[in-house]
Amino acid sequence: MAVSFMVANEDIPAGAKVTGLTGKLEDTIAAVAGAGFNSFELMIADPEKVDVGKVKRLEKQFSLKCVFLCTGEMAGTAGLYLNHIDANERKRALNSFLLAAKKAHDLGVNLNIGRLRGVIWSDGLQRSLERLGESLERIDSYVRSELEGLSVLIEPLRKVVCPILNNCAETASFLSERELNNFRILLDSDHFDEKEDPSFVNSNIELIKHVHLADSNHKPLGRGAIDFQSFLNMLSKSGYVGDYSVEVFCDEDQIETLRDTASFLKAFPHFLEGSL
């Protein structure tokens, strides 16, 4: 089990308001290692600017492993949506994501689709979902034929952040109906649907392949209302043995947030046996 902290790739400007460390990768990855984490998750906006060779060199230099590729800023920064109502924009988003998937495969990690899936456009929910399904089918076909072993994870999000696919059961049904066999689910503590998700997770833990840790509204851990002991116990009792990544907005002194996070996590038995 890996416990990671989010690091933004250098195509995301230093100081940008994103959920992770920003700056030179040499500095941020060194800081993550210095805080005691054994791995990092890489946030990207432009897949063309992901230097796989550099990431691998830094992994070796700092004895730290990249465990996941986060694509949230492909929507937030680059403005891409896989269900865009404009066909040219939709194609641009799809091609960019396919490149991101290739970079993830080269790094030996999985990647997610969060806000990148899109919104409800002027022609309504059903057509918006149909366009999303068409894009995901293209992705599934590409992964099956070109990127053996890769999983693409859909991240259920609260409606205020993304209006479609808001809980695990809804997401799993969407994937199953379209026979998207290379897709799984990413669980986020801040987007966790406390009414709908616990029973799903307990019965379908094999579909959960990665977990993001964030407090309310992605505040640093311990600064919001989320009961992490309960959340982690739920995952443990369900049989989850996969990786975790911290994805939070950092304070002005982002290294202090990093260190505070490491201290917060060490209070939980889940993270005491060499994972942090």
pLDDT at residue 39 tops 70: yes
Please list, in sequence order, all residues whose beta carbon lies within 8 angstroms of the beta carbon of residue 265, skipping any fewer than 6 positions away.
3, 221, 246, 271, 276
Give the span between the Cα atoms of 276 and 129, in whole angstroms. Answer: 39
Cα–Cα distance, 8 to 21 (Å, whole number)? 6
Please report the pLDDT score of residue 63 as a whole number.
Answer: 96
pLDDT greater than 80 at residue 274: no
What does the pLDDT look like over 101-158, one tens digit per residue? 999 999 999 999 999 999 999 999 999 999 999 999 999 999 999 999 999 999 999 9
Averaged pLDDT of the chain: 96
Whole-prediction pTM value?
0.95
Give the tens place of pLDDT for each residue, 152-187.
999 999 999 999 999 999 999 999 999 999 999 999
Return all residues near 74 (Cβ < 8 A) that are at least 6 apart: 44, 45, 46, 47, 80, 93, 96, 97, 100, 116
Q: 273 falls in which pLDDT band (50, 70, 90)?
A: low
Report d(CA 155, CA 142) in Å as an integer: 20
Burial class of residue 58, CB neighbours in 10 A (0-12, 13-18, 19+): buried
Band (pLDDT 50/70/90 cuts) for residue 211 is very high
Looking at residue 21, its amino acid is L
Tell me: pLDDT of 205 over 60: yes
State the DSSP string of 109-136. Answer: -EEEESGGG----TT-HHHHHHHHHHHH
Q: How far is CA 215 from the centre of its chain?
A: 15
Banded model confidence at residue 52, pLDDT cuts 50, 70, 90: very high
pLDDT at 275 over 80: no
**Predicted confidence (pLDDT) at residue 37 exceeds the cutoff of 60:** yes
What is residue 185's predicted lDDT score, i.e. its pLDDT?
98
